[in-house]
Chain A
Amino acid sequence: MWAYILRRLLYTPLIVFGVLLVTFVLFKLVPGNPARIIAGPGASESTIKEIEAQIGLDKPRWINVDGAREQGFGALFDSQFFRHMWDTPRFEFGDSVYKKKAVSEILYKGAGPSLKLTVPMFIALLATSISISLGITMLRGTVWDLLIVIACVIGMSIPFLAVILFGQDWFAGKLDWFPIRGYDTGFAGVRYYVLPVILGVFAGLGSDVRFYRTVMLDEAKADYIRTAYAKGVGTGRVLFRHLLKNAMIAVITRVVLAIPFLFLGSLLLERFFSIPGLGFLMVESISSRDYNVIAALTYIVALLFIFGQLMTDICYALVDPRISLK
């Protein structure tokens, strides 16, 4: 197993290189000049040019041939591309050209509020959907099973935005059960997270229950379940000791792949409930062509994703003795 982990880790720089290259190429293909966005619509041409110089856009995109001619070979790499490929992997993200703040500071301040929203939401959704799915397994073929499947399909059909609009208007606006929106640090801030977490869980239940129900039902048909029942093992023990453990492969796959994206927060929930997280940051950075922020977010998510996949493989081996990592 250790050789496998080492081999996977050795692949990582190559994957990271690919991610950084694709991010750079894609961003440079998209039209739109960040200097113009900073300068605003009434700015003169010279102001735009000065801002371009200050944010490094006056440098050649790929290689600096002119610089090399004038200042020697070393200047050849004084370009936007090489600066990106050298700085980003070392977590030197520079400043946000739009916000004029260090990208690391923006990420540090935004990650906390985002994770405070997405982690409880993720855990609550996972626990609720697996519990319901296990419950349905016991009720397979009954009218309850049918009703829950119908409810899941309806739940999946309702746009997340509609859930938020209705939930906020009804539970916070009309019933006054929750604060409309807000944010605070520490325990005082917990109250502001309750409604968005509930709405997030509600919106995710349809698809998650459908998925886990299918996984659980597949396992429920297996011979070992029938054998367990035949041996007189109780339902609870069958569900939690046998069925759930064997369904863990699918659960782990879904869960671990979702974890890196928790870092990015939830765009809609953060916007509607005024949570100062990272949910809107990616959208805002793309629309303002704030390349340093996009590069940082992409790089961090890529690393988390690579790490998450490695963890998935390790977990497979831990939960299923038939799998060995070679």
Chain B
Amino acid sequence: MARISTMACMLALAVSLAGCGEDYPDRDTNTRFVALHARVRHLDPAIVNDTTSASVAGNIFDRLYQYKYLVRPAELQPGIAAAMPEVSDDGLVYTIRLREDVFFHDDACFPDGKGRQVVAQDFVYSWKRIADVTNASPNYSFIEGRIKGFDEFRKYTHERSDAGEPIDYATPVAGLEALDDHTLQITLTAPWPSILYAIEHLPFTPMPREAVEHYGKRIINVAVGTGPYKLERWDQGSRIVLVRNENYRHDPYPSEGEPGDKEKGLLADAGKPMPFIDRVEFEIIEEDQPYWLTFDKGLIDSAGIPKDTFSNVVGAGQKLKPKWAKRGIELIIYDYPATEWLAFNMKDPVVGKNLALRQAISLAIDREDFIELFRNGRGTPAVGPTHPMISGGNDYLHSPYHRYDVEAAKAKLKEAEAFHGGPLPELAFTMGGTDTSARQYAEWVERSVEKIGLDVKIDLMDWPTQQEQVDNAALQFWRYGWHADYADPENYMFLYYSPNHAPGPNSTNYANPEFDKLFERFVTTPHGPQRTALHHQMEQLVVDDMPAVFTMYSIAYVLRHPWLENYKPHPIMWGTLKYQKVNVAKRWEMLTGKTLEE
């Protein structure tokens, strides 16, 4: 009996130490709580290239142009730029006027700690940092070969680095010039109409030279930007806290949206100064169960739906189940510009040469089944590489082999065998992953293909190993995918341009001179019907030649608690927190049953 009492006392002590579960700290303040599913690696825009870091940094650093928050398909508007650029008739020179009311965050790197005005020279300096090899920026590919003199500057930094000499940032770059404090001029090597999408990216934000010099190597842990929020605290691997930038220029909330936005209340704050939220707390929650429990308790304001929880939350007709709907939680479904496919190595002597074989495999893939089994229905069957939200639909494609038809697949396989000159050897399918879901996926592909009489050997390997084999063109066929970096089909088409072959982004080593010619015309053609027609032709060539079996276009499902307002997830844009609003009184009442006054 005494022992039982002791144990009970110990449990009571443990519970009292833990403070009896959640007490909703700070949920009565104007704070937005966000969960991140991975750790933030660094916040230096020159080197950020992961989505988690970008989702935080996007709220700290402004760019010249930004996407319109509510408008779909995604459309750009001026950010730090005063207006859309003036473009020369030959499409080579972009002159960009900067706003004069943009200031860096107050920071110890500035005299008196007061953030100074942003000038054109800040862009010249920041973009040079991307080219500087000593920064090992993964983002140089965005502008490689595009801006006059940049490749030469990169070469210069390489030589200085090898010689152990410091890099002189005063070294001019012919194609990037600050005409005056508020005018930036970019001169391209060839017309590049997608440049504005590229420079909307985080690496092209202005970084104050003072901060880089003041913090040295620590610059990756600090963030001195011009955005609506500034970094207050970063507990590595645990939490990041941003606070409102009091010097922010307070742009008005947009008044332009999609049909239906007004009815959802998304235009109620049109014209009001942003940001609305004082403080943002990012909690790093890497596992699905705590992520979901945290949302369920109302400790974060919005969340995705983990795979294992999906059927408990979403019911028939992709509607929220009553248990959740009753709490006022809203399910938001939107197109997410990621496409998945099974890639073929076009250099492989078996699959690369045999179009009928690739067509047979495509016909053997039941895309609907795949989407239901592996994505809980969160996708649509793909017929080509470009996600329809980027191309505005894909009706232009004739894609007779992107359907499920076992009999047709068997007939195609006979053609493939005839082309091969006898029975086909066992194929090797590679998955970049070794966990249960990767194995299930690979087994599903194996079963699909074996149904038509093809033997398949599964090879599971971790992502770096797979990537090295892809780079060495050593694989036969494997699972792959792409999430658009920007809202332009170019960002899909460059994956099939032959000079980009592995280890470049054209991982299938697809090479079609006709495609290459079209692509070279496409990238220099201004946006308009002619460019669209070129894109359609290129995409049709890819679908016909089938260097990949396209399986799924992604759709995202997100939940929000009723107290989170002005919330409309953007598929591409980083840094949407300034538009959002938290109804603090409603949150406090729903979580604790008390009013704020109590």
Contacts and interface: CB of A to CB of B under 8 A. Distances in A.
Interface string B480-499: 00100100000000010000
A169 B293 contact: yes
A44 B158 contact: no
Interface stretch (B41-49, B163-171, B258-266): B41-49
Contacts of B14: 194, 198
Nearest to B290: A181
Interface stretch (B115-123, B233-241, B346-354, B442-450): B233-241
A271 interface: yes
A41 B505 CA distance: 6
Contacts of A168: 289-290, 293
Interface string A5-33: 00000000000000000000000001111
A101 B221 contact: yes
Contacts of A179: 18-19, 21-22
Nearest to A190: B17
A178 B12 CA distance: 11
B462 A32 contact: yes
A276 B283 CA distance: 11
Contact of A32 (B140, B294, B467): B467
Interface residues of A, number: 63
A32 B465 contact: yes
B2 interface: no
Interface stretch (B62-70, B131-139, B581-589): B131-139
B55 to A, nearest CB: 16
A32 B468 contact: yes
B113 interface: no
Interface stretch (A51-59, A68-76, A147-155, A227-235): A51-59
Question: Which interface residue of B21, B41, B42, B504 has the most chain A CB atoms within 10 A?
Answer: B21
Question: Which interface residue of A45, A182, A274 has the most chain B CB atoms within 10 A?
Answer: A274
Nearest to A275: B238
B286 interface: yes
B18 A38 contact: no
Nearest to A43: B141
Nearest to B38: A284
B287 interface: yes
B73 interface: no
Interface in A156-180: 165, 168-169, 172-173, 175-180
Contacts of A45: 503-504
Contacts of A46: 144
B524 interface: no
A169 to B, nearest CB: 7
B272 interface: no
B44 to A, nearest CB: 8
Contact of B138 (A39, A181, A271, A280): A39
A132 B561 CA distance: 47
Contacts of B44: 100
B42 A44 contact: no
A237 interface: no
Question: Which interface residue of A39, A54, A180 has the most chain B CB atoms within 10 A?
Answer: A180
A32 B461 CA distance: 10
A50 interface: yes
Contact of A276 (B236, B463, B469, B505): B236
B174 interface: no
Question: Which interface residue of A41, A99, A113, A183 has the most chain B CB atoms within 10 A?
Answer: A41
B297 interface: yes
A324 interface: no
Contacts of B20: 176-177
Contact of A271 (B49, B158, B287): B287
Nearest to B49: A40
A116 interface: no
Interface in A178-222: 178-183, 185, 190-192, 194-195, 198
Contacts of A277: 237
Given A44-B500, A48-B503, A274 B290 contact: yes
Question: Which interface residue of B136, B297, B500 has the most chain A CB atoms within 10 A?
Answer: B136
Contacts of A41: 467, 482, 505, 507
Nearest to B472: A31
A36 to B, nearest CB: 5
A27 B44 CA distance: 29
A98 interface: yes
A119 interface: no
Given A31-B469, A99-B41, A271-B286, A54 B463 contact: no
Nearest to A50: B133
B285 A44 contact: no
A280 B39 CA distance: 11
B238 A276 contact: yes
Interface in B492-533: 495, 500, 503-505, 507
B15 A177 contact: yes
Interface in B259-296: 283-287, 289-290, 293-294, 296
Contact of B136 (A50, A113, A181): A50
A130 to B, nearest CB: 15
A135 B126 CA distance: 68
A31 B468 contact: yes
Interface of B: 14-15, 17-22, 39, 41-42, 44, 47, 49-50, 133-134, 136, 138, 140-141, 144, 154, 158, 161, 217, 220-221, 235-239, 283-287, 289-290, 293-294, 296-297, 299, 462-465, 467-469, 471, 482, 485, 495, 500, 503-505, 507
15 contacts: A30-B465, A32-B465, A33-B464, A33-B468, A40-B49, A42-B482, A51-B138, A54-B134, A113-B238, A177-B18, A179-B21, A181-B293, A274-B286, A276-B236, A287-B462
